[in-house]
C-alpha cells in the first residue's frame, strides 16, 4: 500500500534511494489538489476499469533492476540518475506497480517534495507539467510497472530549468490557481 509523506531533503548522490521520511504523512486530498491521482487496484480488472474511465487505451510494461542493464552498474546508475533528476512531461505519467518498490517524488504548491512509496497494486497518475522524480528504493532494487497512456505519449523528460514556459507547464501552473 502506498505511503505519502514529506521528504526530508537530506538526499545526496550516495543515499537518495533511502526512505528520507520526515515522518509527516500527506493526506490523499492534498495530492488531489496538485492534480495527482492515486488508486489502489488489487486486481487487473480494477486497473482496466480506471483505464476505461480515464481513456487510457494503451499500455506497456517496464522492468528496472540491475539485470535489465545486463549487470552493467554504470549504465544502471546513469539511468537512476536520469530518473532522479527533477523533470516534467507534456503528458500524464501513469504507473501501476506490479512488483518491487520505488519512490515517486512530486513538488507541492510550495515546492516541497512529497514522496510516494509505491508498492504492488498502487496506481499513480502524475499530471502533465508537474515537476517530479523517481528512484528505486534501496529495498528490492527492482520494479515492474505497467505504463498506461492514451495515444502517442510524450515520454520526453524536460529537466527543471529547461523550457519552464511550455504550454503543458503553463497549463499545469494555471490549474493550481
* 143 forms part of the interface with ligand KMT (CB under 6 A): yes
HSE (side-chain half, CA atoms, 13 Å) at 69 = 15
Number of residues forming the site for Ni ion (CB under 5 A): 1
Q: Is 145 in the site for ligand KMT (CB under 6 A)?
A: yes
The strand pairing partners of 21, in sequence order, are 7
Three-class DSSP category at 45: helix
* Annotated binding-site positions: 87, 89, 93, 132
**x/- site string to Ni ion, residues 19 to 38, per CB under 5 A?**
--------------------
Per-residue contact string for residues 65-104; x = within reach of Ni ion by CB under 5 A: ----------------------------x-----------
Euclidean distance between CA atoms 80 and 130, whole angstroms? 19
Give 1 or 29: the residue with its C-beta nearer to ligand KMT: 1
The option from Ni ion, ligand KMT, none interacting with 83 (CB < 5 to 8 A, set by class) reads ligand KMT
The answer to the question of residue 62 lying near ligand KMT (CB under 6 A) is yes
Angstrom distance (rounded) from CA 106 to CA 109 = 10
User: Other C-beta atoms within 10 Å of 59: how many?
Assistant: 14
Q: Output 82 or 170, the one with its CB closest to ligand KMT.
A: 82
Position of cell 497549463?
Answer: 171
Cell of 85: 533528476
Render 104-142 in DSSP notation, one character per residue.
Answer: EEEE-TTSPEEEEEE-TTEEEEEPTT--EEEEE-TTT--
Record the cell numbers describing residue 25, joined without a space: 504523512
What is the C-alpha separation between 118 and 122, in angstroms, rounded?
Answer: 6
* Min CB(52)–ligand KMT separation in Å: 22
CB nearer to ligand KMT: give 25 or 89: 89
Chain positions contacting Ni ion, by CB under 5 A:
93
Chain positions contacting ligand KMT, by CB under 6 A:
62, 64, 83, 93, 95, 102, 134, 143, 145, 157
Amino acid at each position: 500500500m502506498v505511503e505519502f509523506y514529506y521528504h526530508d531533503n537530506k538526499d545526496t548522490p550516495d543515499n537518495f534511494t533511502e526512505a528520507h521520511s520526515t515522518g509527516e504523512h500527506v493526506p490523499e486530498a492534498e495530492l488531489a489538489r496538485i492534480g495527482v491521482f492515486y488508486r489502489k487496484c488489487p486486481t487487473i480488472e480494477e486497473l482496466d476499469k480506471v483505464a476505461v474511465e480515464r481513456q487510457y487505451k494503451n499500455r506497456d510494461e517496464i522492468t528496472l533492476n540491475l539485470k535489465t542493464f545486463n549487470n552493467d552498474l554504470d549504465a544502471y546508475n546513469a539511468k537512476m540518475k536520469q530518473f532522479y533528476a527533477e523533470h516534467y512531461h507534456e503528458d500524464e505519467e501513469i504507473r501501476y506497480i506490479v512488483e518491487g518498490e520505488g519512490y515517486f517524488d512530486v513538488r507541492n504548491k510550495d515546492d516541497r517534495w512529497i514522496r510516494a512509496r509505491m508498492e504492488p497494486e498502487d496506481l499513480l497518475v502524475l499530471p502533465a507539467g508537474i515537476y517530479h522524480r523517481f528512484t528505486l528504493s534501496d529495498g528490492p532494487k527492482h520494479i515492474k510497472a505497467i505504463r498506461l497512456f492514451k495515444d502517442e505519449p510524450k515520454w520526453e523528460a524536460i529537466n527543471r530549468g529547461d523550457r519552464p514556459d511550455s504550454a503543458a507547464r503553463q497549463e499545469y501552473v494555471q490549474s493550481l490557481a
